[in-house]
Chain A
């Protein structure tokens, strides 16, 4: 069984894994990182989105062995010193979640979207979140939250 080394939310793990083990199952069932949920089996819903070396991936379509030597950031590692990331706060402020199942993936995808466009238009946000499905909100408040999160992240960068 291959041994992999993977850093998840700042903690280094060494694990022996079956080659077929999915990254999301490694996170949830081996490492107890259940903050990342699974919503489908065809990589359509995006609920399991995490950052792999700084870029968003759907962790249901990555094998654990592919994450060997990588850094994984999940929703659980996003906040700093117990305070929420600006994007998490923006989702709260704008009521951008109801049942909350899609939320971890949606927040990670939103942050990734801003890497490419830190001040996205409504259209860019909608297109950029196309791979993340929500059944509760109709997306209106998610779009607002991403805008707000973008503004606050911009502020966080520019203010010392």
Chain B
């Protein structure tokens, strides 16, 4: 049903509609508010001098040469901040034995990775600041770098911190693992390496800070303005109510801007020291060194199975590289995989162990998927190994183990309760779309012919836990905050609608999707809704955007606030129409008295609530409300991704021939946005499989400091993806939505690597280390040819 409202405006079913984005026009015409675009009167430029040593004692810093240069207002060393800079926070003390070393925003006496800030200059523009950095003199006494996790845990290893190189260890058991492995017909034992990645959001980080002498405003390219505000107060001692954080337009994050950074703290302190606005914008090569990295695990996995392929038990032992310090959620990242290695499969016993290790490298932290891509890679690679060992089709071995659609809700061996899903349906759809049987026939043919270009088929049937997160469960995990989200809805006197959200979008299209949710819930036109976000003075409460949480938690908070507005409007309508609230029905944006023509539109009621001339007892002026939502459970998107690759066995070149993804993200608010998220996610997962790796040399220097060395895929490196969906609504929220931000990235990496290994398996190869570059693939072939 659609109702004509004003000219050209329709009210109808917005949820599920592929609305074009409200965000686009500004972004397409350059009317943007990236932090680096912003200018304040009298603003100064900050630049940091960074350590060229992976590990060293700082014996002397002399900034006096810099201070004398033209255009330079000030220059400081770590010593100048020592009394006020505090320690960068870690909000997730994951275990009783966790070691959280002091993490000064600017190094004072010791540097522990290449890129750590040791001094800064503040000048009238960036060219003068860059000149002045050259005039700073720093003397270091080198200390041994610690680069290899296994070596770092040996007794004789040099130490990153006084307390040693072990950050924490965690072990989780469920079921009788020993019994599962005892006399098991099949045991698969593998070690996989999750290489270190650089998140590489297209917008480099930037921070601007200003003060009126008492209160501070900080603009930052961040995913987390609300968390940042609390943390800046905690770290610097500046009272929280004197800090306002604004996340203007933010150009991508992928977890890398889920951080409280040294530069944010130092810019705030510089604004205080100088009483002037300051801005810092990183160069890309500075960013590759100092934006937190992702992944970096060594996974030792053992799997015991019956002869028919049914899994008996799974044992996972991880080494996770923390880098030099524990940042905001560093130690929690590998543990987000703890409940995900068992994935969609049933088994009798499971053990997960993880040791966090300090090294003299950039700290790791959240990167798209955060712990779940690593786990999914591990188990999905193992499922293919199991299939190969038993000579069963890899889809069939999964089918024999997965939770069936009529078994939901299902409590897994690791203790999560999956509320809904249909792995059979998604897989069947994907197989049909992919032309699985035909591709297998072609593969057999190429094998028979000894074709130098072999065809490989990769399967990945993934799930993930997202919608972070139920506060109660975060408490159980010893996380330092809750997982709720806030939304408020204001009907303005003219009948237009302002939605304020605690989520902080940086490309996800919340303005469009939240407009759709509010338009449906209130019965108002989509174009009549505006969405405000990303400023702690406007969106007073929020837990920000990460972990595919925004729609699942924040979108529901908006929906709840709309429902409250409607409840209030109903009371007012009953008063105006002189009937009881129960006699009213709400449709098409108006309350109608059943069986009569009498009605009041929500816009009329908004005006009546604004004038407040005649309000019923207990109804306050203005038609607005707010709500928080705290989910009772995570959400569990799932899907089946299939990848076909052609591998040239003579050159090692891998070409993705086709890629099919059937995802189940529950109900969909905007299919256009969902599709875009899946596309981008798949691309990032493929990038891990084929292209990207942060490489340190033997002295601890990062070699991949530029986009010439760290290979982000271009359009020419990627194929088109074929997408479809199944829909198993989530039962943990009223919209039935599950979240989609990370799904593609979680699914695609193992799909691609499984395909490459599948192509080469007849040669006796059962693994290729990521990224599977032509050289790596060629070397793997050479290894077996010899």
Which of A's residues lie within 8 Å of B, judged by CB? 18, 20-21, 25, 28-29, 33-42, 44-45, 47, 74-76, 78-79, 84, 88, 91-93, 95, 97-104, 107, 122, 125-127, 129-143
Complex alpha-carbon distance, A76 and B283, angstroms? 24
Residues A42 and B708 in contact, CB atoms below 8 Å apart: yes
Q: Are A122 and B714 in contact (CB under 8 A)?
A: no
Closest 4 CB pairs of A and B: A35-B30, A100-B27, A101-B251, A99-B507
Asked if B738 CB lies within 8 Å of chain A CBs, one says no
Q: A45-B707, A84-B29 are in contact. Are A98 and B715 (CB under 8 A)?
A: no
Q: Can you list 11 A-B contacts (CB < 8 A)? A: A35-B29, A98-B507, A100-B251, A103-B28, A126-B718, A129-B714, A129-B716, A132-B715, A135-B684, A139-B679, A142-B715
Contact A98–B707 (Cβ < 8 Å):
no
Known contacts A37-B34, A122-B720, A143 near B715 by CB under 8 Å: yes
For A84, what are the chain B residues with a Cβ–Cβ distance below 8 Å? 25, 28-29
B interface residue count range (under 10 / 10 to 19 / 20 to 34 / 35 or more):
35 or more
User: Does B408 sit at the interface, judged by CB under 8 A?
Assistant: no
Contact check, B715 vs A130: say whether CB atoms are below 8 A apart: yes
Cβ contact within 8 Å between B20 and A93: yes
Contact: B250 with A99, CB < 8 Å?
yes
Chain B residues contacting A79 (CB-CB under 8 Å) are 29
Asked whether A37 lies within 8 Å of B20 as measured between CB atoms, the reply is: no
B706-733: contact bitstring with A at CB < 8 Å (1 yes, 0 no)?
Answer: 1110001011101011000000000000
Does B31 belong to the interface (CB within 8 Å)? yes
Query: Which single residue of chain B is at the shortest CB-CB distance from A140?
Result: B679
The reply to whether A133 and B707 form a contact with Cβ atoms under 8 Å apart is yes
With a cutoff of 8 Å between Cβ atoms, the chain A residues found around residue B680 in the complex are 98, 135-138
B353 at the interface (CB under 8 A from A): no
Contacts of B718 in A (CB 8 A): 126, 138-139
Complex formed: what's the CA distance from A11 to B508 in Å? Answer: 35
B249-A100 in contact (CB<8A): yes
Across the interface, A18 reaches (CB within 8 A) one of B31, B127, B712, B715, namely B127
Instruction: Chain B residues near A129: list those with CB within 8 A.
Output: 714-716
- Within 8 Å CB of B714, what residues of A? 126, 129-133, 139
Given contacts A92-B25, A95-B20, contact A138 B682 (CB under 8 A): yes
Whether the Cβ atoms of B672 and A95 lie closer than 8 Å is yes
Query: Which residues on B are within 8 Å of A, measured CB to CB?
Result: 20-21, 23-32, 34, 36-37, 125-127, 200-204, 249-252, 254, 283-285, 506-509, 672-673, 675-677, 679-684, 706-708, 712, 714-716, 718, 720-721, 744
- Report A-chain residues with C-beta under 8 Å of the C-beta of B706: 40-42, 44
Across-interface contacts of B721 in A (CB, < 8 A): 138, 140
B37 pairs with A102, CB closer than 8 A: no
Question: What separation, in Å, do the CA atoms of A142 and B718 have in the docked complex?
Answer: 12
Docked CA distance A79–B200 (Å): 30
For A88, give the chain B residue with the smallest CB separation.
B28
When distances are taken between beta carbons in the complex, the residues of chain B under 8 Å from A132 are: 714-715
Inter-chain CA distance A91–B672, complex, in Å, is 13
Q: Shortest CB–CB separation between residue B134 and chain A, in angstroms? A: 14
CA distance A37 to B35 in the complex (A): 11
Asked if residues B36 and A38 are in contact (CB atoms below 8 Å), the reply is yes
From A20, A47, A75, A95, B202 is in contact (CB under 8 Å) with A47
Contacting pair A102 B202 (CB below 8 A): yes
Given contacts A42-B706, A122-B720, 12 further A-B contacts (CB under 8 A): A29-B125, A29-B126, A40-B204, A93-B20, A95-B20, A95-B676, A98-B252, A101-B251, A126-B715, A135-B201, A138-B682, A142-B715
A97:B127 contact, CB within 8 angstroms: no
Nearest CB in chain B: distance from A159 CB, A = 23
Q: Do B683 and A139 touch (CB < 8 A)?
A: yes
Once bound together, how far apart are the Cα atoms of A132 and B713, in whole Å? 10
Beta-carbon contact of B204 and A99 below 8 Å:
no
A64 to B744, CA, bound (A): 42
A127 touches B21 (CB 8 A): no
Tell which of A42, A74, A75, A99 touches B203, judged by Cβ atoms closer than 8 Å: A99
Instruction: Determine the distance from Cα of A57 to Cα of B638 in the docked complex, in whole angstroms.
Output: 43
Contact of A98 among B126, B676, B708 (CB under 8 A): B676
> B125 touching A37 by the CB < 8 A rule?
no
Task: Specify which chain B residues have a CB less than 8 angstroms from the CB of A107 in the assembled complex.
Answer: 28
B683 touches A138 (CB 8 A): yes
Considering the complex, give the chain A residue whose CB is closest to the CB of B670.
A95
The one of A91, A93, A133 in contact with B712, judged by C-beta atoms closer than 8 angstroms, is A133
The answer for the CA separation of A39 and B206 in the assembled complex, in Å, is 12
Specify which of A35, A39, A76, A88 is in contact with B204 (CB 8 Å cutoff).
A39
CA distance A79 to B26 in the complex (A): 12
The chain B residue with its CB closest to the CB of A133 is: B712
Alpha-carbon distance A97/B720, docked complex (angstroms): 16
Q: Given A37-B32, A95-B672, A135-B202, verify A100-B23 contact (CB < 8 Å).
A: yes
How far apart are the CA atoms of A91 and B25 in the complex, in Å?
10
Contact in complex: A126, B34 (CB < 8 Å): no
- State whether A97 touches B27 (Cβ < 8 A): yes
Chain A contacts for B20, CB-based, 8 A:
92-93, 95
Which of A28, A84, A98, A134 gathers the greatest number of chain B CB atoms within 10 Å? Answer: A98
Across the interface, A92 reaches (CB within 8 A) one of B28, B252, B675, namely: B28
Roughly how many angstroms separate A29 CA and B683 CA in the complex, as a whole number?
34
CB <8 Å contact, B21 and A139: no
Contact A137 B679 (CB under 8 A): yes
CA A97 to CA B27, docked complex, whole Å: 8
Q: B284 and A40: CB pair below 8 A?
A: yes
B202 & A45 in contact (Cβ 8 Å cutoff): yes
A34, B28: Cβ atoms closer than 8 Å: no
Please report the C-alpha to C-alpha distance between residue A135 and residue B284 in the assembled complex, in whole angstroms: 14
Residues of A within 8 A of B24 (CB): 91-92, 97, 100
With beta carbons under 8 angstroms apart, the residue of A34, A88, A98, A131 that contacts B32 is A34
A75–B204 Cα gap in the complex (Å)? 20
Q: Tell me, in angstroms, the Cα distance from A55 to B165 when the chains sit together.
A: 54
**B721 to chain A: closest residue by CB:** A140
CB pair B708 A44 closer than 8 Å = yes
Which of A28, A44, A103, A138 lies in contact with B37, CB distance below 8 A?
A: A28
Instruction: Give A95 to B678 CA distance when docked, in angstroms.
Output: 13
Do A135 and B716 touch (CB < 8 A)?
no
Q: Which residues of the other chain, A, contact B32 by a CB distance below 8 angstroms?
A: 34-35, 37, 100
Complex: A127 Cα to B23 Cα, angstroms: 28
Shortest CB–CB separation between residue B643 and chain A, in angstroms?
14
B202 close to A39 (CB less than 8 A): yes
A42 to B286, CA, bound (A): 12
Q: In whole Å, how far is A82's beta carbon from the nearest beta carbon of chain B?
A: 9
| Residues on the A chain within 8 Å of B744, using CB | 138
- Answer whether A143 and B720 are a contact pair too, CB < 8 Å, given A39-B284, A91-B24, A99-B507: yes
Check B202–A133 contact: CB distance below 8 A: yes
Q: How far is the CA of A39 from the CA of B202 in the complex (A)?
A: 6
With A37-B203, A99-B201 as known contacts, state yes or no: A137 contacts B676, CB within 8 Å.
yes
